[in-house]
Every structure is written in structure tokens, then in C-alpha cells.
Chain A
């Protein structure tokens, strides 16, 4: 693990640092040795550490993150069915390296079906497979369209409505409720609304685009925090650090256009278009030449016609599309001559 507790801190702080360090799941022999020495250096240390350690372990005795009793009514299914959906086919855990991913993908076993689960506080999760779009009715009356290869967790309460978009893209049509702000956390930023329609995209081309009403977008970055108010017809982009772009009129992908089974883009970069396509097209589209990432294009096509669209695009721009045997499509810039 990283840095050992600093001696300048109080003993309590040092003890708490040790607690956090020792429960990291990857403690080195050097860490253990340093901890042993720290305990030995003062009889007070072990007493204080024991208390902090007990406190930390005992946290799992609380009911925090136990799913709420009424979570099933949120799932939008008849309760009797909810009972039956309960048991998801179990799979054996994968080797440690991909454990975290496996845990997240647990719901997607038997791909194509949207799964839900409620790990904490009535939180439910929804996932979509490749090329799949799902419409989800939330218990507060809001509707969410979850885009392809996307994953989100939803928690609807009396005083707050929280969504975490873990991957992909979602379009929100939010039921107005002044008492319960609706917020969407996505990677490095958060979008809060009272009632409106907007689209959030995570990943390398993260953005929030507003269709109706107004939303507040906040960076979650610890230092460079910023906040923007966005009106209908405007969008803001975020990079991976949570730095927000200036507000600009909606451009590129038509917000929520994908809900109707058609992907529409105006003046979008090929990089962004490709990132989107790859949530629909399994074999994958690869940009072979860096310069193409920033090429601006227009396109509108159903997701099952990726090949045709890219062929057409290649013929109208100075690039070529090669179709490999495994279905991969590689885009390359034509040699300038």
C-alpha cells in the first residue's frame, strides 16, 4: 500500500490511518512490519488502535445498505413477478483480477435481458446489452431510457431520487417533484434536476444535453469543482477529471434520438460517433489513424446498419473502411496526395 501514517498526526489519527491502510485488501510485508513497530512504540497505541479497529469492523453490523422493504414496487413489475425474478442464476466467481468487473456484470448473465438488483438502500441496478435500449418506468413516475451497453443504479426515496450512471448513456424524462431532487451521478460529475428531460452520457465523450427544463451540472472533482446551469437546447461536456466545458448549444448526437432505434448525429466528431457505435456494434469499430478522431461528420442510421453507414461515410470523406473477418471495422485516413 501507499504512504504509512505520518508521525505528526495525533495518535488517534495515526490509528485511523492504520485502520484504513490495513483494510485495503493489499497490505505488504513492509506495511505489517511498520505497523508492528508502531504498536510497540507506545502502549497507548495498541489500546487506541484496538478501539478504532473494532469500530471499523462493527460498521457492518448496522443496517446501512440493507435494501428497503418496498424496493420491489419500484421495479415496475407486478409484485408477484418480482418474487420470481428474485433468484438470478448464480455463477461461480471469476479469478481475482476481474473480480470487480465480474461483480458488476453479474446482472448481465444471459446477456440481452435487463437485470435489476438492489444492493443497498433500495437501490436497483439496470443493465443493457450490446445494441439494446430499455425503457424503464421508475416508481416516482419518471421514465428512463437506458442506452446500449449501459449500466445504472437507481434509488428512489421520499426526499431524494438518485441515479448513478455507471456506464453508457441514459435519457431521463423526470417527473416534477420539488421535494425530491433528481440527481444523476456519472463518473466525475453530477446532474441535478427538479423535473425535466435530458440525456447523460458517460465515458470519454461524457456530456449532459437538456431537452426540456433546466438542470444543474456539478463537477465531483475534489479541487476543480465547478457548477453550471443548463437550459433546454444546451449541453455541457465533462472530461475524466470532472472539468466541465463551457455551455454550448446542443450539437453532435441528437439527445435521446437513439430511443427510437435510430442514431442521429449532426456535426459530431468521428471519435465520439465511434464510441457510441461500439455500444451497439459488437465486433467493434476501430479508428486506425489518430487524425480521424476529430473529423466532423453527420450521420443518421439504424444501429443494425453500421457497416453500410461507415461505407457511405468513408466514400464521402477522405478515409477508407476495411471490414475484417471477425466483423471488426477499421477506419483509416487516405494518404494525402
Chain B
């Protein structure tokens, strides 16, 4: 994460701007977040940084623990990658994108520690198949399909959804999931298989099988 540390200060500098926006609860909802979201220029990098930094750090540390990777480094890297996207300041919903980027930074880190993922990559490469890495650019390019996919994931039965969440989005091993939920590893595998098969079929039906 040395890349992110070196860049931290250059990105965080503009923080001092329009600090008074925070206390403004003039909106009927009384929800600071939505008030901010409605404000012009709120999606400027400065505004985003100030608005989302604490919640992203909290999200990462609560989801994945205190690190490594260090949650602040992760969020910093996420902002750096986000800001290097073309027209980053014009995204309509940058918040979810930042969450997704940050989350994948941690998951990527975990994967690199997992010898299995490297084993799979290498083996597939021997057979002439290269897997695409997850990058902000790919996420942006596939936005439409990813929206559909999100809806499908949210529509999965609660148990499948929970296991999928812990496995694919939190990076838990099946043993850890079993410890957390009390479900057996065989059951967890079965639920994941069912979830994979059903998501796969649905995305194929809607013509997203474009790989």
C-alpha cells in the first residue's frame, strides 16, 4: 500500500473547503447525507472525500477488520483510483462506486495471499485463458449489467444471500462462515452452488453472457 500512502496528502489537501455544509440540516428529512447529496458541486472530489471518507473507513474496518491492509490506506487507494478515472467528478452515483472499489482493494489483497487464486490463474493461463482483473474501469464499463446483477443478488433467498455476502464480499472461508452461522460446510457449499447456478442462468437469460 506504499503507493497510497505517498499520495494521501495530495488528495486530502482540499479538505478544508466548504466545511460548513456539514451542519446544515435545512432539509425536511433532517438527513445530512441526503442534504449533502443534493447540493451542487457535492460530487467534486473534495466534497466526496470529505463526505465519504469517514463512512468508508468505518465500513472497511467493520467489514474486514483493522487490517492489514490498513482501512485508511484502502480508502485512500480507492479515492486515488477513483480520481484517476476519466471524468470522475461527473459520476452520478460515485458513492456506491467508491464502496465497490474500496471493497475490491481489500478482497484483492486477500486473494493475493490466497495461493489458491494464483494456482487457478496460473493453471488457466497454461490452458490459454486469462482472467480479467477487477478494475474501476471495468466496473464503470459494466455499470448497466452490474445493476441488474445487484438486483438479482438482492433477490436471492436470505440464506444464500448471507452466505454469498460472507464468502464473496467479506472474504470469509467456508469454515469461518460455518463458525459464524452454525451451518455445515456441506450446506454452505450447496447454497453457494445454488446461488451461482441461479445467478448464472438469470444473467444468461438476459443476454449478459457476453464474455
> Which of A's residues lie within 8 Å of B, judged by CB?
1-2, 13, 16-17, 19-27, 32, 35-36, 39, 43, 46-47, 49-67, 69-70, 72-73, 79-80, 82-83, 86-88, 90-93, 99-104, 106-107, 117-121, 162, 164, 185, 187-188, 220, 222, 240
CB distance from A326 to the nearest CB of B (A): 27
- Cα distance A104–B182 when bound, in Å? 14
Q: Which residue of B lies closest to A121 (CB)?
A: B154
Say whether A64 contacts B54, CB under 8 Å: no
CB distance from B198 to the nearest CB of A (A): 11
Pick the 3 closest A-B CB pairs, nearest first.
A25-B173, A46-B127, A90-B66
With A27-B116, A83-B22, A106-B66 known, 5 other A-B pairs at CB within 8 A are: A16-B200, A60-B104, A86-B54, A87-B58, A90-B61
B142 sits at the interface (CB 8 A): yes
> Interface centre among B59, B71, B187, by most A CB within 10 Å?
B59
> Which of B's residues lie within 8 Å of A, judged by CB?
22-23, 25, 29-34, 37, 54-55, 57-59, 61-68, 70-71, 95-96, 99-100, 103-104, 107, 114, 116, 119-120, 123-124, 127-129, 131-132, 134, 138-139, 142, 146-147, 149-150, 153-154, 158-159, 162, 164-165, 167-170, 172-177, 179-180, 182, 185-187, 189, 192-193, 196-197, 199-200, 203, 211
Q: Which residue of B lies closest to A157 (CB)?
A: B154
CB distance from B187 to the nearest CB of A (A): 7
- Cα distance A142–B131 when bound, in Å? 47
Say whether B131 contacts A22, CB under 8 Å: no
Say whether B33 contacts A70, CB under 8 Å: yes
Q: Which residue of A lies closest to B211 (CB)?
A: A51
Pairs across A and B, CB under 8 Å, 8 listed: A23-B167, A26-B175, A32-B116, A39-B124, A62-B153, A65-B165, A66-B96, A119-B170
Residues on A with beta carbons closer than 8 Å to the beta carbon of B103:
60, 66
Q: Which residue of B lies closest to A67 (CB)?
A: B59
Q: Which residue of A lies closest to B37 (CB)?
A: A69
Take A25-B114, A80-B22 as given contacts and tell me if A87 and B128 are in contact as well, using a CB distance cutoff of 8 Å: no
- Cα distance A65–B149 when bound, in Å? 12
Take A26-B173, A26-B175, A72-B31 as given contacts and tell me if A53 and B57 are in contact as well, using a CB distance cutoff of 8 Å: no
Say whether B100 contacts A26, CB under 8 Å: no
Take A73-B29, A80-B22 as given contacts and tell me if A53 and B131 are in contact as well, using a CB distance cutoff of 8 Å: yes
- Cα distance A117–B56 when bound, in Å? 11
Residues on B with beta carbons closer than 8 Å to the beta carbon of A117:
58-59, 62-63
Count A-B contacts at CB 8 Å. Answer: 222
CB distance from B199 to the nearest CB of A (A): 8
Residues on B with beta carbons closer than 8 Å to the beta carbon of A83:
22, 32, 54
CB distance from B18 to the nearest CB of A (A): 15
Residues on A with beta carbons closer than 8 Å to the beta carbon of B169:
59-60, 64-65, 120
CB distance from B136 to the nearest CB of A (A): 10
Say whether B129 contacts A47, CB under 8 Å: yes
CB distance from B196 to the nearest CB of A (A): 5
Say whether B67 contacts A93, CB under 8 Å: yes
Say whether A88 contacts B62, CB under 8 Å: yes
Residues on A with beta carbons closer than 8 Å to the beta carbon of B134:
57-58, 60-61
Residues on A with beta carbons closer than 8 Å to the beta carbon of B32:
72, 79-80, 82-83
Partner of B150, one of A24, A43, A62, A101: A62
Say whether A92 contacts B131, CB under 8 Å: no
Say whether B100 contacts A50, CB under 8 Å: no
CB distance from A163 to the nearest CB of B (A): 12
Residues on B with beta carbons closer than 8 Å to the beta carbon of A82:
32
- Cα distance A73–B55 when bound, in Å? 13
Say whether A20 contacts B192, CB under 8 Å: yes
Residues on A with beta carbons closer than 8 Å to the beta carbon of B197:
13, 16
Take A73-B30, A119-B63 as given contacts and tell me if A56 and B196 are in contact as well, using a CB distance cutoff of 8 Å: yes
Residues on A with beta carbons closer than 8 Å to the beta carbon of B123:
35-36, 39
CB distance from B191 to the nearest CB of A (A): 9
- Cα distance A118–B180 when bound, in Å? 17
Say whether A46 contacts B128, CB under 8 Å: yes
CB distance from A290 to the nearest CB of B (A): 24
CB distance from B35 to the nearest CB of A (A): 9
Residues on A with beta carbons closer than 8 Å to the beta carbon of B199:
55, 59
- Cα distance A87–B31 when bound, in Å? 19
CB distance from B92 to the nearest CB of A (A): 13
Partner of B66, one of A24, A66, A91: A91
Say whether B150 contacts A64, CB under 8 Å: yes
